[in-house]
Each structure stands twice: as structure tokens, then as C-alpha cells.
Structure 1
């Protein structure tokens, strides 16, 4: 009897324990479900605020084209700088000879040489070297900096192999990629406005950087001519045009972003110089600063902008470039952690650090094809020490990445179509004629171009793009291309987008060739 009672007691105790465990499990599931619901509510609200419907994108297209026109008319009349680059001749494949490039854009700089063989040989051979710049030179004097660059360039020239040779009567000519703000006054002249990227060579500000480098080269007893001063966007356009004469637009989509394109010189109303013989001018848009009320701005963009080094500026870049996409995702995750507790009762300290989530990590999470989304879990753990996330939470993280990526890519696509519209390559034809810049009154105050361009339906236009964001982030690239083709409709058959790598290097050398004093036939 006693044994029977003891067994009953044990059974009751076991049942109670089982019920307690079940209650804990149910409570946890209820909690996880509640967290997931709260997080999904934040996601849906953010998704709706990031709307890039076709209607909205068409308004962005019109706004981009309108701002382009305004920027060509007068200085300061647009969010786009629309800077004449003085580049009026792009390489076409006929260039021959040996040309050099110097690419200064960060803590390292590159020197490059390329042997060109005309239409038959094209790029016969090329070599480059990358040289780190000592910290004391980055903070020293103008003479120290340009003497250092000139010395490394001359050393590189001295190691010219037998595969590289000058044509008769040709001197060595250089394309100089200088990726800092300059006031360009000629194809091979420009005054430095300010330093970025850790440089602080104060006495160089206001100097002509081409003249400074030219002096340093000549002081070493070498005769070389800097024939073109460019940025990487113009180099991308030049590199693309060298292989394909249909290239009209160059775009950088990497850590930063910019665009340039070929414009009719007579359309640049603010241009005070003579119209080039080619009748064309490459325009550097500085499109990162583009802004319109039609852009889908959210609390994420407002907080990011307010905390940035340049609040109120470069709003477009902060929505579409690799520098900022990862941080946009992080800011949404912070809200989910604070309001939905998706990562536990406390917000991980590092999650609160700006730019702690890099866009390459965002890309890896977004493109995780594993059923258990293990890559998402690994990155959350390695970057933020967030462990044991559920599959449901990982799926939400992937969806946040998708919203940010899709918005940025589709807006970049709308920007490209805005350029196509400005130059009459978007297929908006009427009676066989394209009217340039024919916009609604709200966009252009009734402006239209009285010089229509004859339109033929088989005109081909190629957009050359460089940058790691476009090259390596597959979903970004696909979303951007889809947006371009949606917006263009039937006209998309005449527009193609191509990767054009190393504009800052070989593009500069090609522009040195097309603007050389000695042009081999």
C-alpha cells in the first residue's frame, strides 16, 4: 500500500514537472511569436515607406532630368553640380602608342602603363604598380606629396620593358586620376578645393594639382606631359567608349556613387568657353547630391543624415551607395531590437555603433541560399556576438536587407533612365522626333528644348558601370537592371548595361591618348 502511494506521488511529481517544462516552452514560444510579430510590423512599415513603385520611379526619372537641365543652365541652380570636364574627345580604338596613368584616390596610389595598337591591336600590353603613401607625406607639404608621386612614377618608367615602346615623335603622356574635389579649368588643369580620405596637405589647397605634379616630374629631369585630369567616373566612361562607340553614360556604384555622360556642348548654357569642334562635352554630374521630394525618405535616412559628416547633402548617395546600405539595415535592426527584443532583453552594444554592419556582410546575408540561413547566423554572431537566433528572426533580417537593397538599386536605375531621358535615348518619341527635356510644368516651369533630335528606333545606347557594389552584389545588380527595363519598356531593347572595370586606371591612360599632343594615325 505504501509503495503504491509512493508510486502515485512520483507520478504526480513527474506530471507536475512535465507541465512546468511545457509551460516554460509554451511561454517561450508565445514570447518568440510576440517578438516576431512586433518585428514584422516594423518591417512592413519600413517596406511601405521604401516604396519604389513604377509610378514613383517615373517621378524620380523626371526630377533627375529636370535637375540636370537646371544644373547646365547656371551654377547653384540645381542639386546636381553638372560640371563640364573639358573632355570633348573620347577614345575610339584608333589610339596607338605608349601611355601612362597616375591614380591618386586614397592611402595608396597606382602607376600604370598601356601599349595601344589601334583598332587591330587594341590593348597590346599593360602593367601597373600600387604604392602606399607614407602617413607623414599625407600630412606634409604639397612639394613632399607630389615629389613622392613623381619619384615613384619615374622609377616605374625606368623599368619599361621591351614590350612597351613609344612611337616616333611621341613623348610620354599621362592621364591623372585625382579623386578629390577640384575646380577644373581645362582638360589638364584643376585647383584643389579640399582634401578628404585622411589627407591634410594644407598648402596644396587652391593649387593646380596638374602643374604641381608636372613641376615635380620635371625637377627629376624627365620630360612627360600630363594631358588629362579626370575622376574615376569619367575614366569609366572612357574605358567603355574605347571598346564600344555606343557608350554614352558612365556610372560608379561602389563605396561611393557618381555618373557622367556625353552632352551636346551647346546645351551647356553656363559654359563660357568656345564650343569644341566635336560639339560634345562630358559632364560630371556629381549625382550623389541629387535630391527630390519623390525619393522615399524614412526615419532611417533622417537619422543617418543627421549623424553624418555632411548633413543635408548627398541624400541620393546615402540611399544607393555601398558606403551606406549596410548602415541602413543596421538602423532597422536597432529599432527591432529596441521595440521587439528580437536579439534578447538587451540591445547588443556593438549594434548601436554606426557603420558596424558593412555592405559586403549585408550582401552575404541577403544572398544566403542555405535552408537554415546559417550565413545570417554566422555574421550576426561574428559582428555582434548575437547567438542562437531563430530561423524566423533570420528570415526577417534577410527581408530587411532585401528592402534596403531593392530601394537603392531601383533608385539607381531611375537615375540612369533620367540621364537617358535628358539625352533623348529613353525612347519617348513622337512622330519620329524626340523632344529633348519635355517635362511637366511642375518639373521645369514649362521648359522644353526647341532643338529636337531626330529619333531612329534602332539607336543603341550603352551604360558603362564600374564599382564593387554593382559587380559583386548580384541582387542589387538584378534589381537595378529590372528597374531600368521596366521604366524603358519597349525602348529597353536599345539600351544595354555593361561592366567597365578600372576606369581610374586604364580609362585615364586612354584619355591621355585621346588628348595627346602627338596623335599617331
Structure 2
């Protein structure tokens, strides 16, 4: 903390005798944007929805008040939003969100991330179940001890319960037994738990969609505009992260919310596209292009 990451990485490589130069250091969101944009000029933004969450987008350079230097020749610059740290009185925080934040390692920070990312969704579900156990004896007279352990219920477990399609919700029963040591649950109880997963996942998905809409509105891509005889311009959002890739009901709820927010006509021109390891590809491309630039400068 407080040190130059590239300098420290270079020192570490020197210590182990690795002959390598760091020509570019980018986060996964910027890497995903670079990788997507390289393959398709219609990619205007990248969003990570995984353990954590972030977004980056291409902005008109003259629309950036903070920028004081010469404008780039391309006329655009990449904005790394760090949107996980967004907080607002308009965010629908519940008592469970507030208790999670208060108990976290970074209280008051990453509020948006704590409502929508893979690290926290399962924990929100656990906290709701704990209150149901304490105040409504949902699991019987005693509160299950394992249920009191923070982060014992992970988002992949929540996803598995949410996607349970067996008639008797056998997956839910197995997860409760194996993770929380809760046995002999009724089908009615298991249905309530699936409904809880639905509520928490849908809220996170819709908030994610709202964030993407914010980017579209800022860049003027939230409306369909075309000249006579021309097709409407496509806007592609490159997505990466395990939450978006593997949590199908979360992904579907997010896409449904986008359709609802944008309307049918505009939605046809907004494409949410999975970018497998787009961040790694983008980082490699940026490193290669920067290396070529340095070689050009040195030869000149």
C-alpha cells in the first residue's frame, strides 16, 4: 500500500532472476475493454461481475473535466470507474446490507459491490436466514450454530439452491445439511429459501443493469438514433466474471432489467456479450502495443 506496484513487481522479478520488463499494468476491467475493442469497434464498455465488480468505458476526451493535458489523437480516453465504491441514498440498503458493511474489513466502502458481487450475495442470504432463525424459529427452537458463521454460505452454493429444479428441492436439502448442518427441512421451508435466493439475486442483477444503463446514458447510447437509410449503431458491453458467466438466473434477470429500462427498440442495439478471459487478452495487447511504441520512440 502506498508503493509503486510496477516498481515492486520489477524488484520481485529481479530477486528470482526473471528477465522480464513490465510494459503495461492494467486491471481486469480495462483489460476486458481493450480486448473487446480490439476485436470489435462497437464495444463501448466492459463490466466485471465476479467475486468483485467494476466497469470501464470509452469516453470522449473533451467530456472529461478532470483532464488537463493535451487531448489524445483518437479523441477518446478510457475511464476506469471503480464503480464498486459507488454509494448513494438512492441505493435500497436493508438492515442486512448495513450489518454486512459494519462487520466487513472496509466499513463504508464498496457499498455497491457489497450489494451485487459474488463475494457478498451468499452472505446476504445467510444473514436473512439467521434473522429468520432467531426471530421466527425458522429452523426450530435452536439457532443452527453453523448459520452464525460469516461467509459460510458462498454464492456458488446460493446459485445451486436457486437453480434447483428437482421436485423435492433435493439440492437445497443437501446444501443445508452439508454446509449448515441443518437436516429434516420441509419442502415448504426449502421453497422459502429458493424464494429468498431469487429476491437477493434479482436485486443484485437489477442494480447491475442500472449501472450499465448509467454508462449508456452518459455516452448517449441509451436511445436509438439513426440516419435515414442506415442501421442503428450497435453498442456492445463486454462482460467478464464468474457471477455473470455461471449464475444463469442472475444473468437472465440482469438482461431482463436492461430490456425493461431501455425499451424494445433500443434494446435491439445493446448487446451484452460474454468475454472469456478478455482481461488477459486485453492486457497482452496493451503490453504489446506499448512495447512497440517504446521501440518506435527509441529508434526515432
TM-score for the superposition, normalised by structure 2? 0.91
Q: Structure 2: how far apart are the matches of 1:327 and 1:379?
A: 15
Indicate yes or no: 2:71 matched with 1:275.
yes
Match of 1:325 in 2: 121
Q: How big is each residue's C-alpha offset from its partner over 1:336-361, in whole Å with a ceiling of 9 and x where there is no partner?
A: 11122121110001101111100000
Match of 1:375 in 2: 171
Question: After superposition, where does 1:93-108 map in structure 2 within 5 Å?
Answer: none
Match of 2:221 in 1: 425
| Aligned equivalent of 2:134, options 324, 330, 338 | 338
Mapped contact 1:461–1:495 kept (Cα < 8 A): yes
Q: Structure 2: how far apart are the matches of 1:246 and 1:254?
A: 23
TM-score for the superposition, normalised by structure 1? 0.53
Match of 1:473 in 2: 247
Tell me how many residue pairs correspond in the alignment: 291
Indicate yes or no: 2:259 matched with 1:463.
no
Match of 1:502 in 2: 277
Q: Is the partner of 1:406 in helix, strand or coil? A: helix
Q: Is the partner of 2:23 in helix, strand or coil? A: strand
Match of 1:492 in 2: 267
Q: Is the partner of 1:271 in helix, strand or coil? A: coil
Q: How big is each residue's C-alpha offset from its partner over 1:158-196, in whole Å with a ceiling of 9 and x where there is no partner?
A: xxxxxxxxxxxxxxxxxxxxxxxxxxxxxxxxxxxx2xx
Superposition RMSD on alpha carbons, in Å?
2.1
The structure where strand makes up a greater share of residues is 1
Distance 1:314 1:215, change over 3 A: closer
| Aligned equivalent of 1:389, options 174, 182, 185 | 185
Q: Structure 2: how far apart are the matches of 1:352 and 1:221?
A: 46
Match of 1:129 in 2: none
Mapped contact 1:251–1:260 kept (Cα < 8 A): yes
Distance 1:212 1:289, change over 3 A: closer
Match of 1:517 in 2: 292
| Aligned equivalent of 1:398, options 188, 194, 199 | 194
Mapped contact 1:301–1:328 kept (Cα < 8 A): yes
Question: After superposition, where does 1:433-472 map in structure 2 within 5 Å?
Answer: 458-472=232-246
CA-CA distance at 1:295 after TM superposition? 1.5
Indicate yes or no: 2:5 matched with 1:209.
yes
Mapped contact 1:250–1:259 kept (Cα < 8 A): yes
CA-CA distance at 1:297 after TM superposition? 1.2
Q: How big is each residue's C-alpha offset from its partner over 1:462-512, in whole Å with a ceiling of 9 and x where there is no partner?
A: 000100000000000000011111111121111100111213422210111
Higher Cα Rg: structure 1 or 2? 1
Indicate yes or no: 2:65 matched with 1:291.
no
Q: Structure 2: how far apart are the matches of 1:391 and 1:515?
A: 59
Match of 2:37 in 1: 241
Mapped contact 1:236–1:503 kept (Cα < 8 A): yes
Q: Structure 2: how far apart are the matches of 1:258 and 1:459?
A: 25
Mapped contact 1:234–1:503 kept (Cα < 8 A): no
CA-CA distance at 1:242 after TM superposition? 2.2
Distance 1:215 1:374, change over 3 A: closer
Mapped contact 2:224–2:269 kept (Cα < 8 A): no
Mapped contact 1:214–1:225 kept (Cα < 8 A): yes
Q: Is the partner of 1:230 in helix, strand or coil? A: coil
Q: Structure 1: how far apart are the matches of 2:6 and 2:113?
A: 28
Runs of 4 or more, structure 1, over 6 Å off, are none
The structure where helix makes up a greater share of residues is 2
Indicate yes or no: 2:128 matched with 1:353.
no
Distance 1:218 1:366, change over 3 A: closer
Q: Is the partner of 2:119 in helix, strand or coil? A: helix
Distance 1:243 1:343, change over 3 A: same
Q: Structure 1: how far apart are the matches of 2:172 and 2:18?
A: 57
Question: After superposition, where does 1:161-310 map in structure 2 within 5 Å?
Answer: 194=1, 205-206=2-3, 208-214=4-10, 220=17, 222=19, 225-310=21-106
CA-CA distance at 1:211 after TM superposition? 3.6
Q: Structure 1: how far apart are the matches of 2:139 and 2:172?
A: 13
Match of 1:442 in 2: none
